[in-house]
Amino acid sequence: MVAPGNSGMQKDGISCVDIEATPEIVAFTKRTNISLVVLGPEVAILSDLKEKLEAVGIPCFAPSPAAARLESSKIFCKEILSAANLRTAAAQEVLDAQSAEKTIRKHHFSEPLVIKVNGLAQGKGVAVCDTLQGALKSATELGQNFGFPLLIEQCLQGPELSAFALCDGEEFVFLGTACDYKRITADPFSANTGGMGAYSPCDFITEQETEEIQSIFAKTLKVLSQRGTPYHGFLFAGLMKTPEGLQVLEFNVRMGDPETQALMPRLESDLAELIARAVKHELKGASVRFKPDVAVHVVMVSQGYPEKKMEIGHTIEFKQELPASTEMYFSGVSSQAGALINTGGRVLGVTGLAPNRAQARELAYAGIQSVEFKGRYFREDIAK
Ligand code: AMP
Ligand code: GLY
């Protein structure tokens, strides 16, 4: 059962209930004897939903809002990383426009400077600036739009990857790695999106670095627990492989989109069983098994995305059956007169699963090519 879900999920036989407010969800879960609730997006995680569900005895797999500050406060995140002795970009907190300007003017711009909002900003809270004027402008705009404090941060260089863990407060199981494609085209300076595709596992880290990623999760959980805010739920580390080694860019307190669509089809273990163990704090000794396959996920968006003005409301046609070893996932869709129409920016995506990346890629694109609607767009270079 998914709340609120979408018409595409319903078409696939998943039960959806169109509710989002805490009282409705609590009443619904009680009435229907739901025994476990998993919270997805950070808005739900930062709300009172977990507290209200647990108050009526319904287990809820999600971090507490206090532990979720790992994502909702970059300053808290830096504090935890420092206490855990983990590598991250050096950063300075500035409390107002004058101190922002003073700090920015000290930088020589032989390398860029990163300006960041402290709180949640729906992906619009980070500016990588390579000139003094650009940095001053970004600090003014970010301060005006999101308020102070801001973080003025060293710019790191290197490829990025996402890593995931399922945590029970003390213990965790490692869910693996994935790489996403954030830009609307292959041009690294084109517009930022919610994600145009992903592949899993990440192909540029060594076995030793994979161990190091697990130690990043272990150390972070230990510090959070010692501070009285133990972390339960999915934890997502945004990492960069720099010449100095792996560094933590950020944490998200949820799974990633579209990384999850590439990660989950590779999972062999029973996810529900792992979550059920985690809510009972019984993850110790649990292991997680993956298929040896590689997954590639390609996202299809509406024309105009990521701008606000988009071509929406067109009937989505499914020309052929999806090939074997592929899976389609829906997001910005609704139903109209028995058909699905595109109603959002990111409409759907297809994952291909195969023994190697070239084959997985071929499957994902074969699935994507079977979908038609007016103005559909997808990147052609995912996992190339
Ligand atoms: P965040 O919200 O912190 O993940 O930042 C969003 C994106 O900004 C990251 O995925 C990076 O591409 C970029 N970014 C954030 N912090 C840095 C940094 N210190 N150095 C270089 N790029 C960064
Ligand atoms: N793919 C990045 C995110 O889910 O935030």
Q: What is the DSSP string of 22-52?
A: HHHHHHHHHHTT---EE--SHHHHTTTHHHH
Residue nearest to atom 5 of ligand 2 (CA): 256
Q: Considering only CA atoms, which residue is closest to atom 18 of ligand 1?
A: 155
Residue 257 Cα to ligand 2 midpoint, Å, equals: 5
What gap in Å lies between CA 377 and CA 300, rounded to an integer?
6
Mean pLDDT score across all residues of the chain: 97
Q: What is the arithmetic mean of pLDDT over 108-116? A: 96
pLDDT, mean of residues 331-353:
97
pLDDT the model gives residue 173: 98
Report CA(126)–ligand 1 centroid distance (Å): 7
Where does the chain show beta strands of DSSP type E? Answer: 37-38, 60-61, 91-94, 113-117, 126-129, 150-154, 160-169, 172-180, 197-200, 231-242, 245-252, 294-301, 317-318, 326-330, 333-336, 339-342, 346-354, 371-372
Contact 302, 376 (CB under 8 A): yes
pLDDT for res 123 = 81
Is residue 119 in contact with ligand 1, taking CB distance under 6 Å? no
Whole-angstrom Cα distance, residue 22 to residue 52? 8
Mean pLDDT of 29-40: 96
- Of 3, 56, 57, 55, the closest CA to residue 25 belongs to 3
CA distance 75 to 9: 37
- In sequence order, what are the beta bridge partners of 151? 93, 116
CB of 197 closer than 6 A to ligand 2? no
pLDDT, mean of residues 173-198: 96
Q: Is the pLDDT of residue 95 over 90?
A: yes
Averaged pLDDT for residues 295-321: 97
Q: What is the mean pLDDT of residues 229-246?
A: 98
Cα–Cα distance for residue pair 153/51, rounded to 1 Å: 35
Element (H, E) at 337: none
Residue 179 has pLDDT above 90, yes or no: yes
pLDDT band at 187 (very low <50, low <70, confident <90, very high): very high
Q: Which of 45, 252, 264, 331 gets mutated to test ligand 2 (max ligand atoms within 8 A of its CB)?
A: 252
Question: Ligand 1: which of 142, 193, 244, 249 to mutate, judged by most atoms within 8 Å of the beta carbon?
Answer: 249
Ligand 1 neighbour 239 (Cβ under 6 A): no
pLDDT tens, position by position, 42-57: 899 999 999 999 999 9
Residue 271's pLDDT is: 97
Q: How many helices (H) and strands (E) does the chain have?
A: 12, 18
**DSSP-derived 3-state class of residue 360:** helix
Backbone angles phi and psi of 353, in degrees to 5: -125, 125
Ligand 2 pocket member 194 (CB < 6 A): no
CA distance 357 to 245: 25
Q: How confident is the model at residue 214 (pLDDT cuts 50, 70, 90)?
A: very high
pLDDT at 122 over 90: no
Is residue 81 within 6 Å of ligand 1 at its C-beta? no
- For ligand 1, whether the C-beta of 114 sits within 6 Å is yes
pLDDT of 48 reads 96
Rounded to whole angstroms, the Cα distance separating 145 from 105 reads 21
Strand partners, 154: 113
**Ligand 1 atom at minimal distance to the Cα of residue 88:** 19
**Minimal-distance CA residue to ligand 1 atom 12:** 160
pLDDT of residue 379: 98
Which protein residue's CA is at the shortest distance from atom 3 of ligand 2? 256
127 lines ligand 1 (CB under 6 A): no
Cβ contact 45:68 at 8 Å: yes
Residue 208 contacts residue 214 (beta carbons within 8 Å)? no
Query: pTM here?
Result: 0.96
Task: Give the three-state DSSP class for 113.
Answer: strand
In this structure, the number of other CB atoms found within 10 A of the CB of residue 31 comes to 8
For ligand 1, what atom is nearest to the CA of residue 89? 19
Contact 342, 373 (CB under 8 A): yes
Mean predicted confidence (pLDDT) in 169-178: 98
Report pLDDT for 124.
Answer: 87
Q: Which ligand is nearest to the CA of 257?
A: 2
